[in-house]
């Protein structure tokens, strides 16, 4: 058979050579990525052309659920492994979610748990970022149309946005975890710093407390202690070296669990840049029945005088009753740092002991916020809604800035910002301390009512800064989980608010001309309110002694 020679043009030669080179490159590149799969006839399978849009789709799937993008791209085993890891983590999260919000929060107030959450969150973030990038890069194909210029920039930007979308919730969780750890370790004590109001020393040491510590008549300065009724032949306790020194405060573990009642002293001071010193402008005692969820809020007037002191405070101050207003006790006790443990506030411990003596109940912990802190707290909540009974037009110094300003608060339901709420709670123009106490209780109740979880999460960073800078407390860190578990117990509709105001709770004038509290009636009222709070809830009475309208 004769051969026929065909002359190829130069253009045909060039086209054939380009096709051969392209085929060779495709075969070589296929060996660099995945092995060539063959169909039943032994021919190489043609890989589908995947554009950048489809690859971004695979990455998006893995951003939502790690591994789904790999499965969609054909890498099933890799995707299945990632999905299994994700399902295990979701199952753990669902398990804790089923335990209830209070249980979860009780874990999250423990610093070691917060550190573990921070680390696990960082590892899961890396896992998800790796899943997104793997879904994008592993789905590339050899015969995909090339992407250059502006289109390549758009694809890169889209990938960056997708990665940011994936990392955002982990960044927020990590930031909140860091803030929580910082808040707990800064504000709350690592030890139980509750001071025993009655140190209960040994019988032999009671005679060594010194004449200024005993509430009964004491020997004359020149006399030696000779207790006549005591038949003991050796009245010489003084030679011992320890009794002559001031005894250290006794720090004991509080037992509010066994009592079934948690009681906390709440103090607001009038400290501010334009004020010298600090006084306890607001004194409240909140007591919660951990079984029933009912709580009672007692307000102690700031102008009470001759308030009894606890034994340990009386010993240091050299008096059994504080002759000035109780609001001045806070600043006066600052001169006696030995009243408090290291890093504790002696003024708060003195007030706590006085409140215990006055109300006749043990107080477990205390917490204090100053004027600037109150403003910040209200502003962090986005304001507080109260019912203003009468218009307020008053000139008052601000908590910050040291300037005086005129405030005009109309009557009716108003949402007040931080400074307006401070004016509302502190104003005495045209009213009295007792009307002011009523407004303060209403503010506290309104803020507690607004403290739902969505609101707290939204304001959390600002709230942390405000608490850390302006709140002082002796609540120990290891008590936080138990206290958080009380969250589900508290019944907001079962809060009794009682202010010890005249005329019922006034017994005349003190030795320095201040209001003298009616001790017996106060003790009786406290016991009645704690044992039978329902009788106050059932009364339709606007008497200020029972709180008054909010």
- Put residue 430 in one of left, alpha, beta given phi > 0 → left and psi -120 to 50 → alpha: left
State the Cα–Cα distance between residues 531 and 529, nearest whole angstrom.
6
Q: In terms of Cα–Cα distance, which of 246, 182, 239, 185 is closest to 213? A: 246
State the Cα–Cα distance between residues 547 and 550, nearest whole angstrom.
8
State the Cα–Cα distance between residues 514 and 31, nearest whole angstrom.
96
State the Cα–Cα distance between residues 320 and 311, nearest whole angstrom.
8
State the Cα–Cα distance between residues 178 and 122, nearest whole angstrom.
12
Out of 124-128, 341-345, 453-457, least confident range: 453-457
pLDDT digits (tens, 9 = 90+) for 240-257: 333 333 333 333 444 788
Rounded to 5 degrees, φ, ψ at 368 are -135, 140
pLDDT digits (tens, 9 = 90+) for 78-114: 899 999 999 999 899 899 888 888 888 899 999 999 9
pLDDT band at 5 (very low <50, low <70, confident <90, very high): very low
CB-count burial class (<10 Å; 0-12, 13-18, 19+) for 418: buried
Inter-residue contact 282 to 309 (CB < 8 Å):
no
C-alpha angle 84/90/96, rounded to 5°?
Answer: 145
Please check the confidence at residue 233 and state whether its pLDDT lies above 80: no
State the Cα–Cα distance between residues 374 and 383, nearest whole angstrom.
11
Helix (H, G, I), strand (E, B) or coil at 305: strand
Inter-residue contact 78 to 134 (CB < 8 Å):
yes
pLDDT digits (tens, 9 = 90+) for 149-203: 677 788 788 899 999 999 999 999 999 999 999 999 988 876 555 444 443 333 3
Please check the confidence at residue 276 and state whether its pLDDT lies above 70: no
Inter-residue contact 290 to 302 (CB < 8 Å):
no
Predicted pLDDT of residue 97? 86
Beta pairing partners, 496: 296
Beta pairing partners, 304: 515
Predicted pLDDT of residue 358? 94
Predicted pLDDT of residue 412? 81
Strands 412-416 and 392-397: unpaired
Cβ-based neighbours of 193, under 8 Å, separated by 6 or more:
251, 340, 341, 344, 474, 476
Q: In terms of Cα–Cα distance, which of 457, 443, 124 is closest to 282? A: 443
């Amino acid at each position: 058979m004769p051969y026929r020679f065909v002359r190829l043009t130069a253009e045909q030669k060039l086209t054939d050579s380009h096709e051969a080179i392209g085929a060779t490159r495709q075969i070589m590149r296929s060996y660099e990525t995945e092995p060539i799969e063959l169909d039943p006839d032994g021919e190489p399978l043609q890989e589908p052309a995947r554009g950048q849009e489809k690859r971004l789709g695979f990455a998006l799937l893995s951003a939502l659920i790690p591994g789904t993008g790999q499965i969609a791209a054909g890498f099933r085993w890799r995707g299945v492994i990632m999905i299994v890891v994700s399902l295990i983590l979701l199952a753990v999260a669902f398990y804790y979610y089923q335990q209830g919000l209070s249980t979860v929060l009780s874990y999250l107030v423990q610093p070691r748990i917060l550190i573990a959450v921070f680390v696990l969150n960082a590892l899961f973030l890396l896992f998800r970022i790796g899943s997104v990038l793997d879904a994008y890069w592993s789905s590339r194909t050899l015969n995909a149309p090339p992407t250059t210029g502006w289109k390549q920039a758009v694809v890169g930007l889209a990938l960056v946005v997708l990665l940011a979308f994936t990392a955002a919730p982990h960044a927020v969780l990590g930031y909140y975890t860091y803030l929580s750890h910082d808040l707990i370790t800064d504000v709350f004590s690592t030890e139980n710093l509750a001071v025993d109001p009655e140190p209960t020393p040994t019988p032999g040491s009671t005679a060594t407390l010194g004449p200024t510590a005993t509430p009964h008549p004491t020997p004359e300065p020149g006399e030696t202690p000779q207790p006549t009724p005591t038949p003991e032949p050796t009245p010489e306790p003084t030679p011992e070296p320890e009794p002559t020194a001031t005894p250290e405060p006794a720090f004991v573990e509080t037992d509010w669990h066994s009592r079934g009642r948690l009681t906390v002293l709440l103090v607001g001071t009038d400290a501010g840049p334009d004020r010298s010193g600090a006084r306890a402008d607001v004194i409240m005692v909140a007591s919660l029945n951990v079984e029933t969820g009912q709580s009672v809020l007692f307000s102690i007037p700031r102008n009470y005088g001759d308030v009894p002191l606890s034994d340990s405070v009386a010993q240091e101050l050299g008096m059994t009753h504080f002759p000035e207003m109780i609001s001045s006790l806070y600043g006066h006790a600052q001169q006696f740092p030995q009243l408090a443990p290291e890093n504790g506030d002696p003024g708060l411990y003195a007030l706590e002991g006085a409140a215990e003596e006055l109300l006749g109940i043990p107080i477990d912990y205390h917490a204090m916020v100053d004027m600037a802190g109150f403003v910040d707290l209200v502003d962090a909540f986005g304001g507080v809604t109260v019912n203003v009974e009468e218009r307020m037009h008053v000139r008052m110094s601000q908590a910050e800035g040291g300037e005086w300003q005129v405030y005009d608060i109309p009557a009716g339901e108003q949402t007040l910002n931080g400074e307006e709420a401070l004016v509302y709670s502190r104003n005495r123009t045209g009213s009295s301390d007792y009307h002011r106490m009523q407004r303060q209780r209403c503010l506290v109740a309104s803020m507690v009512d607004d403290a739902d979880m969505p609101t707290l999460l939204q304001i959390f960073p600002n709230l942390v800064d405000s608490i850390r800078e302006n709140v002082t407390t002796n609540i120990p860190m290891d008590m936080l989980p138990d206290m958080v578990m009380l969250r589900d117990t508290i019944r907001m509709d079962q809060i009794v608010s009682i202010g010890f105001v005249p005329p019922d709770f006034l017994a005349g004038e003190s030795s320095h001309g201040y209001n003298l509290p009616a001790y017996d009636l106060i003790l009786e009222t406290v016991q009645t309110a704690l044992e039978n709070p329902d009788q106050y809830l059932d009364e339709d009475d606007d008497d200020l002694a029972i709180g008054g309208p909010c």
